[in-house]
């Protein structure tokens, strides 16, 4: 039998609620949803005030206003196994290492309930995987964005999941990414250390939090002092080095048109590399969220230049690939390190850029 969509929920703000933070007040209004779930619904436009969208979770509640919350359709209690091919780099009875292709979502969510890595893992690993780490995302201890490719680990037992989660939290994992950037970072080797928070102007994006937004205690390790990470952000550290530059931005040849950059993470914030590269003026090519332009800006002429320009315009995802993952096996204690080359589409982009004059 098909499940019915839950009905919209209506709540009117009393006089003493005026000025309260919207997501916090709704969570305390007895409608049966967590603050984090309500925050997501607000950002998705599923909450209205007197018939008008209310899309800012931090907005002040309007006394006397009528708020309508539209819950999403119910998801299946458990994701279903699907016969989706996986590029398996390593597997034992404790864990599995895969090379995720671009375009694959890691776990089911509203609007993407099938075709995910979790669906594929359930088929590949069998029913023993169900429930590990939570029903909605069994075995998952970290994730890559849908359009980011590369090496991932998933746990096959509860003990492995717990240990890997702790290792990621303690940053005891070697993680390296390859990014093709528009322009080149300066200097060629650097360390980016900022706080990252959800953007205050576009709730679907992350942003570097400017210093004037920090409290004096915002760098404390005590979560009770830092407060809401929406306002203060969380520390994010990316170490990078330019491996190769391509073409030239102008006739002087002093500024590259693009670059191949290795990024190593000390932290794992949402969209961290994409935000940091854009922050230093070298956004990841193809990034439609954080790059002002997806295509190449360069000075040049001739067939090689035209092919490179066409390749960048045709590349419809961020050129980002997780190419190294290394850690100590949490059960056997053996050193594990896996490396995967860029997928065919990203390698074709790199080859086209390499052929440009000035590369």
The pair of three-digit structure tokens given for residue 23, joined into one six-digit string: 């997501």
Q: How far apart are the C-alpha atoms of 231 and 217, rounded to whole Å?
A: 13
Among the listed residues 229, 182, 224, 178, the one whose alpha carbon sits nearest the alpha carbon of residue 207: 229
How many CA within 13 A on the CB side of residue 328? 10
- Do residues 79 and 122 touch, judged by C-beta distance below 8 A? yes
- Do residues 343 and 149 touch, judged by C-beta distance below 8 A? yes
Among the listed residues 78, 28, 23, 87, the one whose alpha carbon sits nearest the alpha carbon of residue 56: 23
Among the listed residues 309, 355, 65, 55, the one whose alpha carbon sits nearest the alpha carbon of residue 204: 55
Q: Which listed residue (16, 23, 145, 228) is catalytic?
A: 145
Q: Is 128 a catalytic residue?
A: no
- Do residues 327 and 172 touch, judged by C-beta distance below 8 A? yes
Q: How far apart are the C-alpha atoms of 116 and 342, rounded to whole Å?
A: 20
Backbone angles phi, psi at 266, to 5 degrees: -100, -20
- Do residues 61 and 110 touch, judged by C-beta distance below 8 A? no
Name residues whose C-beta falls within 8 Å of residue 233's C-beta, 6 or more positions apart in sequence.
194, 195, 196, 197, 208, 209, 213, 214, 218
* Residues acting as catalytic residues: 145
């Amino acid at each position: 039998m098909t499940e019915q969509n839950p009905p919209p929920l209506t709540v009117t703000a009393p006089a003493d609620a005026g000025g309260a933070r919207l997501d916090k007040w709704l969570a305390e209004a007895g409608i049966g949803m967590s603050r984090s779930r309500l925050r997501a619904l607000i950002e998705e436009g599923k909450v209205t005030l007197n018939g008008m969208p209310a899309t800012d979770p931090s907005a002040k509640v309007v006394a006397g206003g009528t708020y309508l919350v539209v819950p999403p359709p119910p998801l299946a209690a458990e994701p279903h196994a699907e016969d989706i091919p996986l590029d398996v780099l390593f597997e034992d009875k404790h864990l599995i290492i895969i090379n995720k292709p671009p375009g694959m979502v890691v776990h089911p969510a509203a609007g993407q309930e099938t075709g995910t890595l979790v669906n594929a893992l359930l088929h590949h690993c069998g029913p023993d995987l169900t429930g590990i780490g939570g029903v909605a995302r069994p075995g998952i201890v970290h994730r890559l964005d849908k359009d980011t490719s590369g090496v991932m680990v998933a746990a096959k037992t509860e003990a492995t999941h717990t240990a890997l989660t702790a290792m990621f939290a303690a940053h005891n994992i070697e993680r390296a990414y390859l990014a093709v950037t528009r322009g080149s970072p300066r200097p060629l080797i650097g360390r980016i250390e900022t706080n990252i928070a959800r953007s205050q102007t576009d709730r679907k994006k992350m942003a570097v939090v400017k210093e004037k937004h920090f409290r004096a205690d915002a760098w404390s390790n005590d979560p009770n002092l830092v407060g809401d990470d929406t306002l203060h952000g969380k520390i994010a550290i990316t170490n990078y080095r330019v491996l190769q530059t391509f073409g030239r931005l102008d006739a002087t040849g002093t500024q590259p048109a693009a670059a191949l950059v290795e990024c190593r993470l000390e932290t794992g914030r949402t969209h961290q590399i994409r935000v940091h590269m854009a922050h230093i003026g070298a956004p990841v090519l193809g990034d439609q969220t954080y790059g002002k332009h997806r295509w190449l800006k360069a000075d040049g002429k001739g067939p090689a230049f035209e092919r490179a320009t066409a390749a960048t315009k045709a590349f419809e995802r961020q050129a980002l690939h997780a190419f190294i993952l290394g850690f100590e096996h949490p059960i056997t204690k053996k050193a594990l390190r896996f490396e995967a080359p860029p997928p065919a589409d990203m390698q074709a982009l790199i080859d086209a850029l390499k052929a440009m004059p000035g590369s």
